Amino acid sequence: MDSTMQHTPLLISSLLRFGTTVFAEQKVITWTGEGSRELTYAEVGQRAAQLSHALRKLGIDGDQRVGTFMWNNAEHLITYLAVPSMGAVLHALNIRLFPPQIVYVATHADDRIVIVDNTLAKPFSGLLAHLPGVQHVIVNGSIDDETRAALEAPEHVVAVHDWDALLEGEPTAYDWPEDLDENSASSMCYTSGTTGNPKGVAYSHRSNYLHAVTAALALGAKQGDRLLVVVPLFHANAWGFPYLAMAVGASLIMPDRFLQAAPLAAMIEREKVTFGAGVPTIWNDLLSYLETNPADLSTCRGLVVGGAAAPPAMMKAFQEEHGITIIHAWGMTEMSPIGTVAIPPTTVEPGSDEYWRYAAAQGRLVVGVEGRLVGPDDSIAPWDGESVGELEVRGPWITRSYYANGRESDVDRMEMESKFHDGWLRTGDVGTLSEDAFLVLTDRAKDVIKSGGEWISSVDLENAIMAHPDVREASVVGVPDDRWGERPLASVVLRAGSPTTVEDVREWLAGRLPKWMLPERWAVIDEVPKTSVGKFDKKVLRKRYAEGELEVQTFG
Ligand code: ADP
């Protein structure tokens, strides 16, 4: 049978066209500090067309890269839609990387034009001299003369444009190319490598499209939802939210640079947020804030938490104190990113121990993602909820290689190749899969603590310590130990003003964990250091310990 269905390519322009016409009344709402500004999706569609016309005039052609150096706001969403729709490739730069890393990724991706928020223009001007490939800078919002002069200074910069002036007068419709290959690149993100430089992942139109639709299904996003996107648009595709909003007809609430607990609580209350997404640290801060600053969060039914393990104590507190369900999910930049979503089976009694075991797991594989556990000596471990292995995955929105342009170092090339195994992606995550496809991660392979013959999960320990009511945050890393090879070191942030000591926490823990898991080494810290996307930064803690910067108390 050779006559089947039509070959309509799955393109970002289809999502753009659909979302901005069929759901023309939905809105993107950008927080401004005291209040918000809004655009309808109809206006988003018009501005996306105007931006594309302007970018063409500035010379963007083929799959050239357009970078962004922006917070989550309406203009970033417009760029997210416009650049791929015109056939070019969007590269959202991680504004929190160290400057040399930003220079590396923008150079490696060959960004031609960068769109910058006015509030980030100054730091960006410091990088620009090191980015000879960047010919045009577009600034969203007004800047002072000094910042403009700094942006114009490098010789390779042809011009600095003002977003509004650039779009002004351009046609509000665009003849989006329909002959694009759905497998061609539409956007890219970089992920921090274990060693060496960040690694680029190029998403295709098809992968972004399929991922958006699946993410909407798996997370239960609905028409008319008001989605608070705390996860940055530069972090792993913003977990699909910009595109899934177009597909289901949901409005987007964009926090811009206001990412602290107080403005987030205000946004949820005033913008009647129904659903949100972000890393655990964001929601943990919000939870502590709400203890002393009550807010009406009754419109919010759920928050997706991923990027790092969601502490069960935090999940329960949101459910019991605020009626908000935390949906735990797991993924990677290399996977667009969603791989699993933890929605307990309907056969399980809500609130029961079994329910919480399911809810606290990393989640159930979503349709389209296949997983297998690979044990030592390459044996495949069964899905029995007990056998441990490294998770490998494959599927239509999982990368088959990293983006390479021939300029990588040998170390980078080796690292890039080592992540693939017979057509599967090695995740570097270790854990179990149950018969019903729930993934429980013990740890990242590099974070597991090898103590004598036992392996200790740093995540299990962190979750157990963070269940203590006077602990705000806890991070556990393995440190060298003469007798056991490695032992856990617990760095703990105690609740402000609490008389509890780490010795008390340890004693409390002693009744809850086997003795061999109990850390002997403890340090009280003011804050757990965080990575560029807000995860606990264990590298920094290991370094601080090695350099004697932590005040460590030893027990037992
Ligand atoms: P980076 O490596 O820069 O942190 P990613 O965000 O792509 O970039 O990281 C993906 C990794 O984050 C996963 O391989 C896993 O180790 C960790 N991770 C993501 N979600 C979870 C989760 N729900 N629980 C535990 N770890 C997670």
Question: CB within 8 A of 177, min separation 6: which ones?
Answer: 13, 86, 87
Q: Decide: helix, strand or coil at residue 506.
A: helix
Return the pLDDT at 446. Answer: 86
Q: What is the pLDDT along the chain (556 residues), one digit of tens a residue?
A: 888 999 899 999 999 999 999 999 999 999 999 899 999 999 999 999 999 999 999 999 999 999 999 999 999 999 999 999 999 999 999 999 999 999 999 999 999 999 999 999 999 999 999 999 999 999 999 999 999 999 999 999 999 999 999 999 999 999 999 999 999 999 999 997 656 789 999 999 999 999 999 999 999 999 999 999 999 999 999 999 999 999 999 999 999 999 999 999 999 999 999 999 999 999 999 999 999 999 999 999 999 999 999 999 999 999 999 999 999 999 999 999 999 999 999 999 999 999 999 999 999 999 999 999 998 788 999 999 999 999 999 999 999 999 999 999 998 999 999 999 999 999 999 999 999 999 999 888 889 999 987 889 999 999 999 999 999 999 999 999 998 999 999 999 999 999 999 999 999 999 899 899 999 999 999 999 999 999 999 999 999 999 999 999 999 7
Distance 142 CA to ligand 1 centre (A): 36
**Of all helices (H) and strands (E), which one includes residue 52?**
helix 41-57
C-beta of 306 in contact with ligand 1 (< 6 A):
yes
Rg from Cα positions in the chain: 24
Return the pLDDT at 196. Answer: 76
Return the pLDDT at 552. Answer: 96
28 in Cβ contact with 252 (< 8 Å) = yes
Distance 14 CA to ligand 1 centre (A): 30
Ligand 1, atom nearest to 335 Cα: 7
Report d(CA 496, CA 241) in Å as an integer.
35
**Domains of the chain: which residue ranges?**
12-428, 447-554
Name residue, tokens 């444009």: 161
- The catalytically annotated residue of 75, 334, 392, 415 is 334
- The catalytically annotated residue of 79, 147, 191, 214 is 191
Q: What is the DSSP letter of 533?
A: T
Alpha helices in 431-477, H assignment, sequence order: 458-466
Q: Which of 305, 330, 415, 444 to mutate to test the pocket of ligand 1 (most atoms within 8 A of CB)?
A: 330
CATH tag, 12-428: 3.40.50.12780
C-beta of 444 in contact with ligand 1 (< 6 A):
yes
Return the pLDDT at 194. Answer: 59
Return the pLDDT at 193. Answer: 61
Distance 332 CA to ligand 1 centre (A): 5
Burial class (CB in 10 A: 0-12, 13-18, 19+), 373: buried
C-beta of 20 in contact with ligand 1 (< 6 A):
no
- What would the two tokens of residue 316 be? 């329960």
Q: Known catalytic residue: 334?
A: yes
Q: Which of 441, 448, 460, 539 to mutate to test the pocket of ligand 1 (most atoms within 8 A of CB)?
A: 441
Distance 393 CA to ligand 1 centre (A): 14
C-beta of 427 in contact with ligand 1 (< 6 A):
yes
Q: At what angle do helices 502-510 and 458-466 cross, to 10 degrees?
A: 110
Question: CB within 8 A of 524, min separation 6: which ones?
Answer: 491, 492, 493, 494, 502, 551
Alpha helices in 312-385, H assignment, sequence order: 312-322, 353-360
Q: Known catalytic residue: 435?
A: no
Q: What is the DSSP letter of 486?
A: E
According to the CATH classification, is domain 447-554 in 3.40.50.1970?
no
Q: Which residues lie across from 139 on neighbouring strands?
A: 116, 162
Residue whose CA lies nearest to ligand 1 atom number 2 = 192
